[in-house]
Structure 1
């Protein structure tokens, strides 16, 4: 800053950390304090002194006796408040100073976003980072984050014209405006938005980062049940919770992609609710949870290119139309296999971060170079018995512990839905009993979830699914009635399917002594209805396990796919897929899943060769009657 011309013999300000304030044009005398220094512009020169403007409303006289220089109209001089007379006239004294730091002062009281709710009608100043710039048909909406929260600010130009075009995403600004209520939340109506200087911005960023680190730290909770196997995953889950909380605070949207089955819903619905409450706590915009978070079911047991293309297009449109950052993707009960990598590579083109919480058998060498966090029990020498729903209930509680009482039954639903035989299942079932759920009730909830999500297809069915799972549901009677209705319908449809299909099931005994059952679900089962091929295969498999009491393998196949289920046989379906891909030229084999439950795809003309080769590998598998299969991998 260039010093003012000084020739006076009067007061000289100390230059140690001297601060001179430059007032916003809207500042009034309420923004001026005795003892502070201000930058004024000379607007008139008289024999008895000069008149200076500090802002539009604030002007006054520097008497000749209090001048330390010989300024001309348009010159800047440093002054301090002299006197405010009863008639409103203001006088200033010029201050001689060589070097100083200029700080900008907007009109209004400095305020934190978290305190705005009780300040409707007041003029305030908020300093923070611009997270989003959305041009509407009327005002420009800036989302601004300080250390305590995020607030929308409406800035007006002509309708549909960008206000403050020099303000860019990610910049640190001082925002002065009136606090107003809008759509049930708080909004600032801007008087002025100013980008701060680099030095101030660096200081503000340091403060914001410290506040963000503190707010992003997960809550300290105890697990719902004591389980040594689960303890191995605890730190990984905390890392994901921290990353999710920080993502919300950074203004980045989140897309929850989950497998469309009981366990996937038990994972995604609690996490969705926890994140929505966390967003609502930190954003003054009541619409923020809806705009910042989307839950999206996936029918396939991996992240399909169809899904990623849809997600990416949606994200790019939101960036263009609404000024949103590109989202974070959080994969739940899905996402750990090599089949997911083409979709992940597509997202890498746009630097979209990816988190994965899954319990299917993983291919870490394939996926981990492409993702940011990976939680999976197999990475800690555990297995699918720790379901994704169990993990995500704890993850949700790390984000919002107040949900605990609403979620105590959910891990048991997840475990029953995915047939978990984990050591802690009795403890989870006991927790559910304390909430009024017997084991049959848990099975009914799981069946109702599968049935509802089958008909919902690509819709998240938020309100219906919440009622079925009894999460964020305000009527327990309605929950019980809808579960009974859906579970009964599911049972009826399964019985009709089995009546039609069972007589077409082919049987043989493998050299290992295991029973092998095959069903052409394309030609000998109802199509385009419930249960779908995966569920149909699983139900027939359960029936044969119960009938024989022996090791059983079941294959349900169509023109270009096969669904695999196993009990009592030590299979390795992901390894079989890898081997078949190499061994059968032109087979187009892909797929995966758990070790003993999965699905594969192939080209239609190679079906016989693929299935015969698969059966040959299964025939060599070791009998291990302690192995139980998990729930349906896919309803496809």
Structure 2
């Protein structure tokens, strides 16, 4: 038995089960069976194939990282044979083949420690090796000032101090201070001349210099060697390595959120800036207040976006300009505060257009703010919502992940941006769960809202909150927010408002796309291609594929190819359902009814929502003038499509009176759906038809 090197709990070896995925393993065995599933290992790129990358794990075992396990396209990897990479062992087959998975951590310091695993055991690296990895021990010469680690009264390291030139010796500096000598040590510390304060964004020009930085600790991680603090000032953020001893937390009294003063040498390691910490002090009192005020002033000034104007003169969007700036300011501030941004959007063409616009705007800001090459995977994520609502299942997943990241990596709670979702009662419980934990969130949506649902949001962009919002898409709002988040991407996302309209895109947005180089036919192809890809693996963001479809001009053929598949599948399904449509009337309203259980291929593209939209749009031209409604009825639910926006919440009240045993429950607001008990299907359908017709007649 031993103690876990991370949490200190008793463990069968140097690591407990709950923290095995937090450390990096060096494999020194010779047989694949000696590897452990679920652990992350250092590897070396051996070669490439059409189906993946061969990775040497240790000197004698090679595994396959299949392309399906990558978070990007295979040809987008910038790896070369011989490069050091980090992978997870996800399977060991009977024939000895090793299946590898992608590790989002592609830098050793992202792990909280390092262990060696051989055929028989797992153990800490040799001290010499750890010292080499940490780069904390520096050689001195006769011409250099001697440095040594000082400790506080408990033996914890408090940094490296340059011995003063006033006759002090190594013993004087090394001696651990007692309570009685604390004031004397502070006086000695103040006697050491500190370098002039440097802005973090200037450090790239000061490699090799000894500098002083002041700012907030926005993250801390423990590696096998040093502790790495991410420090942010009013200009940028940088990693600072502080060493006590291999794998042991330096400055344990310093936590995320503390304001500190740090002295160290600027280095360039693996093409990334890092400050080797010589001294680190948590500030208090007036000193802390001064730094916090400086940070707050800079954040407030820089985060508030300039009024860059809307993409087009749109009467429904113009009243939202201030709320658009508010939402954009939240996103900009989150990036500056090293707070992850999580975009949750509907898994539809409209939702993807809006979510991709925000992704396009935020990623360059993240790369500019953080020195780490993989920061964009840590500080931004886009997660589609399969049913268009942010329900308790979605919120529970997010809260579990964010709390785990806070516990493991001292990560700030993320900013959640709900796109094309978040305005109706179905999202209420999920938003309230975020609010319980104090996670900031914004809503960018065009669904007709339920009263009070978005009240906990820090910003709400919804045209229905003010004047009439009909005719506006989430893609229009998302693109406008993105342009305020990062004006540099304005031209990149100018075509997305047009992409987000299925039919009847306003000329103002069609012309905008034309000016950006996207003719109307190609805009249609983009919309259809994204809609098809949104259906498959609807819970995945498909970042690289969506980028290729929406933003890569040289890959126009890709969109045309996928769009052709969309049209073929949709037309085949329309040919299947049209002979089986039922037409009935009630109170002057024409109803087109599709039994989706009996006459559709329910587990293939197109999904019910896309199919009903197409059926309704096609039937509008074939039906008599007047009020037309399309209903798609399944075993226990009926979806509504109308040309006048039927509010299913009001319809449900009337329908329940006519079929009290059917258990009718509304989901959504305008053109949503109604759920019922499967055993009361016929009664529920009759009640819904009658209730919808009454609603439309009363509305007129």
Name the TM tier (shorter chain): 0.7 to 0.9
Query: d(CA) in 1 for partners of 2:351 and 2:256?
Result: 35
- Which of 505, 509, 525 is matched with 2:585 structurally? 509
Q: How does 1:367-516 map to 2 (within 5 A)?
A: 367-414=453-500, 416-417=501-502, 419=503, 425-470=506-551, 473=552, 476-478=553-555, 480-512=556-588, 514-516=589-591
Query: d(CA) in 1 for partners of 2:560 and 2:568?
Result: 12
Task: Note if contact 2:662-2:684 (Cα within 8 Å) is conserved in structure 1.
Answer: no
Q: 1:264 to 1:571 in 2, by over 3 A?
A: same
Query: d(CA) in 2 for partners of 1:481 and 1:469?
Result: 12
Q: Deviations 1:40-91 (Å, cap 9, x if unpaired)?
A: xxxxxxxxxxxxxx95242249xxxxxxxxxxx9798899xxxxxxxxxxxx
Runs of at least 5 residues in structure 1 that lack an aligned partner in the other structure? 1-25, 32-53, 62-72, 80-99, 628-636
Q: Measure how far apart 1:516 and its partner are.
A: 0.6
Structure 1 equivalent of residue 166 of structure 2: 59
Question: Runs of 4+ in structure 1 displaced over 6 angstroms?
Answer: 28-31, 73-79
Structure 1 equivalent of residue 100 of structure 2: none
Q: Measure how far apart 1:265 and its partner are.
A: 1.2
Q: Measure how far apart 1:510 and its partner are.
A: 2.2
Q: Measure how far apart 1:294 and its partner are.
A: 0.7
Query: d(CA) in 1 for partners of 2:656 and 2:343?
Result: 31
Query: d(CA) in 1 for partners of 2:560 and 2:318?
Result: 35
Structure 1 equivalent of residue 305 of structure 2: 218
Query: d(CA) in 1 for partners of 2:476 and 2:289?
Result: 42
- 1:282 matched to 2:358? The reply is no
Query: d(CA) in 2 for partners of 1:181 and 1:312?
Result: 36
The TM-score normalised by the length of structure 1 is: 0.78
Q: Measure how far apart 1:368 and its partner are.
A: 3.2
Q: How does 1:553-568 map to 2 (within 5 A)?
A: 553-567=629-643
Structure 1 equivalent of residue 148 of structure 2: none
Q: Deviations 1:554-590 (Å, cap 9, x if unpaired)?
A: 11121222221112x4522243246557884671613
Q: Deviations 1:72-127 (Å, cap 9, x if unpaired)?
A: x9798899xxxxxxxxxxxxxxxxxxxx9996867544211010111122221111
RMSD of aligned Cα (Å): 3.0
Structure 2 equivalent of residue 49 of structure 1: none
Q: 1:210 to 1:503 in 2, by over 3 A?
A: same
Task: Note if contact 1:106-1:174 (Cα within 8 Å) is conserved in structure 2.
Answer: no
Structure 2 equivalent of residue 40 of structure 1: none
Q: Measure how far apart 1:278 and its partner are.
A: 1.7
Q: Deviations 1:102-158 (Å, cap 9, x if unpaired)?
A: 968675442110101111222211111111122234432211111111112122333
Q: 1:75 to 1:438 in 2, by over 3 A?
A: closer
Task: Note if contact 2:655-2:664 (Cα within 8 Å) is conserved in structure 1.
Answer: no
Runs of at least 5 residues in structure 2 that lack an aligned partner in the other structure? 1-139, 146-160, 169-179
Q: 1:310 to 1:201 in 2, by over 3 A?
A: same
Query: d(CA) in 2 for partners of 1:238 and 1:199?
Result: 33
Q: Measure how far apart 1:335 and its partner are.
A: 0.6
Count of aligned pairs between the two proteins:
532
- 1:543 matched to 2:650? The reply is no
SS in 2 for 1:571: coil
Q: Measure how far apart 1:621 and its partner are.
A: 3.6
Q: Measure how far apart 1:495 and its partner are.
A: 1.6
Q: 1:481 to 1:75 in 2, by over 3 A?
A: closer
Structure 2 equivalent of residue 615 of structure 1: 689
SS in 1 for 2:250: coil
Q: Deviations 1:479-511 (Å, cap 9, x if unpaired)?
A: x11111111101111122122222221111222
Query: d(CA) in 2 for partners of 1:115 and 1:430?
Result: 42
- Which of 425, 432, 438 is matched with 1:351 structurally? 438
More deviation, 373-382/571-580: 571-580
Q: Which structure has the larger Rg over C-alpha atoms?
A: 1
Q: 1:563 to 1:74 in 2, by over 3 A?
A: closer
- 1:531 matched to 2:618? The reply is no
Query: d(CA) in 1 for partners of 2:593 and 2:565?
Result: 26
SS in 1 for 2:536: helix
Query: d(CA) in 2 for partners of 1:259 and 1:537?
Result: 17
Q: 1:618 to 1:217 in 2, by over 3 A?
A: same
Query: d(CA) in 2 for partners of 1:75 and 1:565?
Result: 75
Query: d(CA) in 2 for partners of 1:300 and 1:466?
Result: 23
Query: d(CA) in 2 for partners of 1:546 and 1:495?
Result: 17
Q: How does 1:118-157 map to 2 (within 5 A)?
A: 118-157=205-244
The TM-score normalised by the length of structure 2 is: 0.71
SS in 1 for 2:598: coil
Q: Deviations 1:282-329 (Å, cap 9, x if unpaired)?
A: 222232221011101011121122211211111111112211012121
- Which of 384, 392, 395 is matched with 1:305 structurally? 392
Q: 1:617 to 1:75 in 2, by over 3 A?
A: closer
Q: How does 1:39-438 map to 2 (within 5 A)?
A: 56-60=163-167, 107-365=194-452, 367-414=453-500, 416-417=501-502, 419=503, 425-438=506-519
Task: Note if contact 1:132-1:142 (Cα within 8 Å) is conserved in structure 2.
Answer: yes
Task: Note if contact 1:109-1:123 (Cα within 8 Å) is conserved in structure 2.
Answer: no
Task: Note if contact 1:219-1:400 (Cα within 8 Å) is conserved in structure 2.
Answer: no
Query: d(CA) in 2 for partners of 1:611 and 1:372?
Result: 40
SS in 2 for 1:110: coil
Query: d(CA) in 2 for partners of 1:392 and 1:205?
Result: 32
